[in-house]
Amino acid sequence: MPTTATPSIAELAKLDLFESVELRTVASLLRGSPVRSLAAGDLLISAGEPNRFLYLVLSGRLSVRLRSPQAAPITWIGPGETVGELSLIDRAPASAYVVVEQAARVVCVDEDLTWMLVDTSHAVASNLLRLLARRLRLGNEMLSDERDRLAEYRFHATVDGLTGLFNRYWLDRMLPRQIERSRATGESLALVMVDVDHFKRINDDFGHPAGDRVLRQVADILRDNLRPADMAARYGGEEFALLLPGCGLRDALALAERLRRAVESMPWPESAGPAPGTVTISAGVGTMDDVASAEQLVARSDDALYRAKRAGRNRVAT
């Protein structure tokens, strides 16, 4: 509910905008500016709508929210602070909602009077610039936080949480790019599909925690034995995919065989719980010779993997 009661000198002295300002002059200029009493839940400023007031918060607590009045607050406005200065100055629609959290009293300073205060007092102009800088700094911090969150989301969208390798989503997007790159440069490209042999039996006999340890250790061996340019992904379940740029069939077979032997001989620390005995892998190697698409390269490598498994597992096939 608006009133015409002029804020007291003591109340004006608590406002950041009037730091080091001759308050009697300010009080005289503010005479007649409405002081609104707001209840919790009231909406002071609406995003997308014009705002022609600078609000001086005498008491209470306000929140600033972006997408809707029900969204999570991004910051809080308390006694002594101002709100509405950005949309007032640039005369653009407000970019956020300002919601009353606790019953509040605000002085509503219209656009003309705001500029009169600035013209009348160098201190007011200086304080307003400082308040704007604080708002811009908050905006920069929010943008930085948002970038960090987006980077984290992208990371989790492309990295398998159990093994730390890339995931199927990543591979589905990277493989076509690598094929196009290989075609452009004339380099060879190999894809190796790897499957942990009898993995269901490991889970059934030793439990899923033991199965997870197997997957992590196999992933570590793959990661540690690849060249810097090679890439490894968890394709799904107990299956992995190795993307080997610049690698022909012979070199890919040699690498797959080296990985197979490393997995077969990997040690199990006693502190890790029940050891599943000897773990082995089967691998299928495909190259992009005469391959028209990423799907065909995956199918070729999968066919080779099934050939290795049908031949008795713990082997590499093409």
Reduced to 3 states (helix: H, G, I; strand: E, B; else coil), residue 9 is helix
Contacts of residue 115, defined as CB under 8 A and 6 or more positions apart, other chains included, come to none
Long-range contacts of the stretch 268-277 (C-beta < 8 A, 24+): 272/213, 273/209, 273/210, 273/213, 274/206, 274/207, 274/210, 275/206, 275/210, 276/202, 276/205, 276/206, 276/210, 276/211, 276/214
Using the 8-state DSSP alphabet, how is residue 217 labeled?
Answer: H
Q: Is 1 exposed, middle or buried (0-12, 13-18, 19+ CB in 10 A)?
A: exposed
The amino acid at 217: Q
DSSP string, 33-66: --EEEE-TT-EEE-TTS---EEEEEEEEEEEEES
Note if 238 is an active site residue: yes
CA atoms within 13 A on the CB side of 126: 7
Q: How far apart are CA 283 and CA 281, in angstroms?
A: 7
Helix (H, G, I), strand (E, B) or coil at 287: strand
Active-site option among 81, 101, 111, 238: 238
**Which residues are catalytic, by number?**
238
